[in-house]
Every structure is written in C-alpha cells, then in structure tokens.
Structure 1
C-alpha cells in the first residue's frame, strides 16, 4: 500500500481515496498510478501511526516539499492532515503543501481554513472553471452548484491564514474558460496555474 510516493523533489502523502467530486478529467479513472508511484488505491485509510511509520523510509532533507495529494481529497481527513503536518514540522523545515478541491467546509460543515494556520505553508485549490455552471458540469460535486461558492470562499479565507495560495485549472476546459478563470483569479488576488491533465 503506497502511503508515500515521490515525484521529482517532492514527497507526496496519499491519505484517502474518498472525494466528493467526480471530475470529468480525473486521472484515477484512467490509471492506478502517477509516474512511478505504484498503485495509489489504498487497501484501507492509513492510521496516523501507519503514516508516521511510512515516513521512516524517507529523509525529509532530500525533498523541497511534502504534498498532501493522492487518489482522493486529502482534506476529507482534515484532522490527520493537521496532525501529520505538525509531525513533519517537528522533524524538518521542509515546506508542507495541500492540493485540494477546496470543499473542506462542505465536507466538515464548518470553517476549516483557519485550522490550517501554522500547519500548512502552501495550498493549491482546484478552481477548474470560471463560474458555477461550468464548475458543476466539469467537477460533478455531490453537493451541487453551491460547491463553487464554497470553494471560492474557502480560497479567500486561506489567503488570511496561509502564506502561499494558488488556484489551478486543467487544460481540459476551453481556452476561453481558461482566460475567464484567469480574470476571476486575478480579481481575487490569487495566482492561477494551468495544469496538463496528465
């Protein structure tokens, strides 16, 4: 079971396979691994002890960052993300990032950005679309159209508590929608990265 995997000089943490979205471009619908990660489908959600044990096989000084990102939405396991982040920071000065769909407030039915304060250095939020209509069509969130507004509000709040906040879109949407997404991101004062699907 692959709890940790590496891509370049980043160490990734695969906490869960649960996700409230079914994005039309989701890579896990096509393959079981990313680069040479091995299968990212988990036999079970790893416990805190299992995650800490997995870290014993890696030297954190070898990496530029530790990233919570696997075959699921990491903030489904918000408490575990926070606890493992604290564990990492006790051992190293390595940067800690979360890649998220930004729906944590809907998942946990409370404000969650503030809980990441002092634990997360960087967060990348999947904007995926310039408005709720396209967003709902592309990400197919189980919470419906309200998801887009919650994601935007989560991003705004992250700016208050996390030093680096970025949006991302996948180049599966149209160029016009990408340009509209850039306008929205600029309006919110958040950098936008355009990701290749693969």
Structure 2
C-alpha cells in the first residue's frame, strides 16, 4: 500500500476500509514512499510482522511522485487530520521527493498537519545539514527514532550502515530541526528498552530541550 491508515493494534488498512469501519472523525493518513533504509533494526517490523498480500507495506516498486500525488488527490480530505510521510524503509532516502510532497500537501490543504517518521540519519546519508530542507512551514512534526541512550546500544539495535557516529549525528540532527520544525519528537520503543534505559533517554532529551515519546512495540 502507498496510502493507508494505522488502526488500533497496529492494523494497516486502506483509507476506504478505515472509513467503512469507522466513518466518524478525522484520522492520520500514512504515505509509504520506499523500502530502502540505512538501518536494519533488530526489532523492525519489516522482518517480524506478517502482512496479507492486499495489505502489505512492502512495495514491489517505489511509487513516483506523480503516483503519490494521485493517491493524495483521491483522499477524503474532510476526514484527514494529518499526513504522515514514512515508509517500510526510511523516507529521507527520497528527501527531495518527500519535501516536495510536503509542500504539495500544504499548498493544496494548508490546514492539514504534516509529519515525517525518520531515523534521523539523513545528514550522514547526504553529507550535509539536511534540517533546513524541512523549513518554510512544510512540516509540523518530525518524529526521530532515538532508540537508545548511548551510541553502542544504538548501533547494536539499529545496525546502522554508518556505524558508531550514527548516534551523535541523529541527536545533532534533532537539535538542528528545532530551528525549522515546530514539533521535534524523539522516540524509544517499549519492550525493546527497559524502564532504566528509557529514563536515561528522557534525561538526555530534557537536557537538549527535546521531547521523548515511548512507542508501543508491535511484532504481530
């Protein structure tokens, strides 16, 4: 699926099916842009979550920008509160395309919120400061996977292709994003990290003026 909703229990549904089951209220709509990723996280749903053929997030081929726009144009916008750019991989692997699509959403539906879920390693991937590319009012929230309180544990969990420098690069990216994005959130996953590790992550975020969210672990 390119465009879908995420229901309780980590169930992914086409938007039409989500509306059929629950026609009331607005919902977040996710845009799946790529399978590619610079990490191979030990807890990643890519290798652990079984999905039916008609509801899989694994893309047989990457959708073009125009294909994604067609999917967006077909949405029932009166039922959409937020567009979330993600992927069964890392959405910043298509940084230029994704920022262009954010701009498109804001131009066509300025009242709809935008968010990106990212591993926060785009500076390493592109060899430059990428935070400014999310500026100009195109992005309301950036959610960055923090995962751990130190670089060794981070690399053990994420198996980032960039090695030990990944952790500090992710935190630096998050701090840079504060200049350009109103809401910068770092995340850790419960049941992957224990309460003490989560406490340490929260302390780091508080020290750096960042927000921490504990995500619910899904593996079914």
Range into which the TM-score falls when normalised by the shorter chain? over 0.9
Match of 2:133 among 93, 105, 115: 115
Aligned 1:130-169 pairs, distance under 5 A: 130-169=149-188
**1:191 matched to which residue of 2?**
211
**1:170 matched to which residue of 2?**
189
Change (3 A) 1:59 1:29: same
TM-superposed CA distance for 1:125, in Å, is: 0.5
Q: Gaps (5+ residues) in structure 2?
A: 8-26
TM-superposed CA distance for 1:108, in Å, is: 1.1
User: Contact between 1:129 and 1:169, CA under 8 Å: does it hold in 2?
Assistant: yes
Structure 1: how far apart are the matches of 2:176 and 2:50? 33
**2:76 matched to which residue of 1?**
59
Alignment TM-score, normalising by the size of structure 1: 0.94
Corresponding residue SS for 1:168: strand
2:124 corresponds to 1:106 = yes
Alignment TM-score, normalising by the size of structure 2: 0.85
Corresponding residue SS for 1:161: coil
Match of 1:181 among 188, 201, 212: 201
TM-superposed CA distance for 1:32, in Å, is: 4.8
**1:24 matched to which residue of 2?**
42
Deviations 1:3-50 (A, max 9, x none): 11112510000000001111111011112549xx81111111111111
Structure 1: how far apart are the matches of 2:214 and 2:173? 20
TM-superposed CA distance for 1:61, in Å, is: 2.6
Aligned 1:20-99 pairs, distance under 5 A: 20-33=38-51, 38-92=55-109, 93-99=111-117
User: Contact between 1:73 and 1:101, CA under 8 Å: does it hold in 2?
Assistant: yes
Q: Gaps (5+ residues) in structure 1?
A: none
Structure 1: how far apart are the matches of 2:160 and 2:58? 21
User: Contact between 1:169 and 1:193, CA under 8 Å: does it hold in 2?
Assistant: yes
TM-superposed CA distance for 1:191, in Å, is: 1.0
Corresponding residue SS for 1:111: coil
Structure 2: how far apart are the matches of 1:38 and 1:138? 27
Structure 1: how far apart are the matches of 2:35 and 2:60? 10
User: Contact between 1:32 and 1:41, CA under 8 Å: does it hold in 2?
Assistant: no
Which structure has the bigger radius of gyration? 2
User: Contact between 1:32 and 1:38, CA under 8 Å: does it hold in 2?
Assistant: no
RMSD of Structure 2 on Structure 1 (CA): 1.6
